[in-house]
Amino acid sequence: MILKNRVKLFFSLFLLVILGCANAEKQPEQLLLSKNIVLHYEQPDNISHSWRTLILKYPDWYFSHEVVDPKTMYAGIDLTGLLQDYIRSIFDPEAREALPAGWLEELAREQSAAFGIKDGNAALMEKGFGSLYHMFNKEEGRGEIFILEENQAHWLQVHSSKEQFQDLIENIKER
Amino acid sequence: MDLTIEERKQLKGFLANLYGPQVQTWEMNNGVFDLTYKMLSKSERCSDLMDLVPRPMPYGQSAARWLAKEVRKAILRQLKERKEHYTVCVKTLSLSMKTQFYMEAM
């Protein structure tokens, strides 16, 4: 009887350890985007880093992250001091009026069209860490996420299904 | 047919103007040419360049392989000679395709 109980106990413990290991594998990783923002992500197939861009690749989707450099976002245009307003104006036509030059308004309009922003596929979420603008282009299976913090802007470009894109947004959290 | 050394050089020159010095580390392969072609053909403002191309191109074809060698050469020569013009006309599209370029070139 004692032996039977010990065997039961042993198998119960063994099962707990196995389940614990399985759960531990599923714990999301954390990518610290800044001192205020963390991205929870599942282990990708591979991660590559080139220049300012980090790319995480999964079997059927991928996304990149970079901190936007106002001097190199566009070749030959320096957006220093204007970057946050400019990014806002890509998503918000009314914000374009606040830009200091007509050609910048035109650039924002053109960028909005190039991303494929139209009624109903873009949104703004105000978070504790800043403003999160996002859009998903269903035809191209591509989404754009811009996070505006006080002193910097993050850009995530996502090639995925709408559901995976939505999951990614939900996994961007305040630290 | 794969890109020649000269064609790769011309393509890299154009993309470096668009994306900056990071392009120096990119591999200029057929996939990168195809993406560049896709970007140029999507831009209405680059339509003069697309006039060089016989259409319609079969869906799903690699532009690098499908285009006659002479047409491909002519496109890359134009990109080299009028680099500034074509950089401007795909400026916003290039941002929406940036990660795709990374994926093809790395």
A-chain residues near B87 (CB < 8 A)? 75-76
Residue B36 CB neighbour total at 10 angstroms: 26
Q: What is the ipTM of this complex?
A: 0.84
Answer yes or no: do A73 and B95 touch at CB < 8 A. yes
Q: Where are the beta strands (DSSP E) in A21-61?
A: 29-32, 37-41, 46-50, 53-57
Determine contact, residues A48/A39, Cβ cutoff 8 Å.
no
Model confidence at B87: pLDDT above 60: yes
Interface test with chain B among A50, A86, A154, A159, by most B beta carbons within 10 Å: A50
pLDDT at residue number A90: 98
Angstrom CA distances, B57 to A98, B40, B41, stand at: 43, 14, 11
Share of chain B above pLDDT 70, in %: 92
pLDDT at residue number A4: 67
Mean pLDDT of B21-46: 91
Model confidence at B50: pLDDT above 90: no
Mode of pairing for the β-strands spanning A142-148 and A153-159: antiparallel
Mode of pairing for the β-strands spanning A29-32 and A37-41: antiparallel
Determine contact, residues B16/B23, Cβ cutoff 8 Å.
yes
pLDDT at residue number A82: 96
Determine contact, residues B18/A46, Cβ cutoff 8 Å.
no
Say which range, A63-67, B1-5, B35-39, B92-96, has the weakest mean pLDDT. Answer: B1-5
Tokens of A66: 């970079």
pLDDT at residue number B63: 73
DSSP reduced 3-state for A56: strand
**CA-to-CA distance for A87 and B82, rounded, in angstroms?**
29
Mean pLDDT by 10 residues, chain A (175 residues): 62 55 67 97 94 95 98 94 97 95 96 95 97 97 97 97 98 97
Q: Token match 């680099």: residue?
A: B83
Q: How far is B48 from chain A (nearest CA, A)?
A: 19
Mean pLDDT of B42-53: 77
